[in-house]
A = this chain, B = another copy of it.
Amino acid sequence: MARISAREKLLDAARDVVRAQGFSATSVDELCAAAGVTKGAFFHHFASKEALGAAAADHWSETTGALFASAPYHAPSDPLERVFAYIDFRAGLIAGDLAEFTCLVGTMVQEAYRTSDAIRTACANSIFGHAKTLEADIAAAIELYGAPAGVTAESLARFTQSALQGGFILAKAAGNDAPAREAVAHLRRYFELIFQPGRKGDAP
């Protein structure tokens, strides 16, 4: 029976509680209670609350990275199909409670971008690192099918994350997941229009 370390339990608790309440509004005591560990354990593993925040962002990068790496959207042989499969996979993740499908690092970086460079950097690595995993497929799709002038794979990959993060904010405001689903649908249509056959003004 593999026992879960206090560190792991705190990281998992941080993921859940921070997505529901935000980082600043969550106290160390609350985190410990949610994780079922003591304050001593907290400060044994993390030098400060800020360090826990940065570690939680790194942990998020690792767990979501593994989820996306093993996801089925990499299967199609056509790169453009893989991109659409990615978008559809993201749409499928939008289900259940808001705090379950929204983004930890998107939430944290809004609160801490100016007050904690450690957290800001860890969140930036998570978001832009994930965007980077899409670049190869998008670049191959552009190579194969062409794209309007000025469209680059890097920029397009980043925009997928902008659309998603923005959808999450509107979903939180609305109190339901509809705006997030809607944002993904528009994102998909944007890609369909960019790569539609017979679009004028560019060549593969």
Is A21 part of the binding interface, using a Cβ–Cβ cutoff of 8 Å? yes
| A22 contacts B110, C-beta separation under 8 Å | yes
- Contact of A21 with B114 at beta-carbon distance under 8 Å, contacts A156-B186, A186-B190 already known: yes
| B113 contacts A111, C-beta separation under 8 Å | no
Chain B residues near A185 (CB, 8 Å)?
150, 155
Is A193 part of the binding interface, using a Cβ–Cβ cutoff of 8 Å? yes
Bitwise, A93-108 to B at CB < 8 A (1) or not (0) is 0000011000001110
Knowing that A24-B25, A128-B170, A162-B182 touch, tell me 17 more A-B residue pairs with CB under 8 angstroms.
A22-B111, A98-B113, A105-B173, A109-B169, A124-B175, A128-B173, A148-B189, A155-B185, A158-B182, A159-B186, A162-B163, A163-B163, A166-B169, A166-B183, A186-B190, A193-B193, A198-B200
| A115 contacts B148, C-beta separation under 8 Å | no
Chain A: interface residue total (CB-CB under 8 A): 56
Bitwise, A169-187 to B at CB < 8 A (1) or not (0) is 1101111000100110110
Q: How far is the CB of A107 from chain B (nearest CB, A)?
A: 5
**Which residues A130-173 have CB closer than 8 A to chain B?**
148, 150-151, 155-156, 158-159, 161-167, 169-170, 172-173
Using a CB–CB cutoff of 8 Å, the interface residues on chain A facing chain B are 20-25, 98-99, 105-107, 109-115, 120, 123-124, 127-128, 148, 150-151, 155-156, 158-159, 161-167, 169-170, 172-175, 179, 182-183, 185-186, 189-190, 193-194, 196, 198-200
Chain B residues near A22 (CB, 8 Å)?
22, 24, 110-112, 115
Chain B residues near A162 (CB, 8 Å)?
163, 166-167, 169-170, 179, 182-183, 186
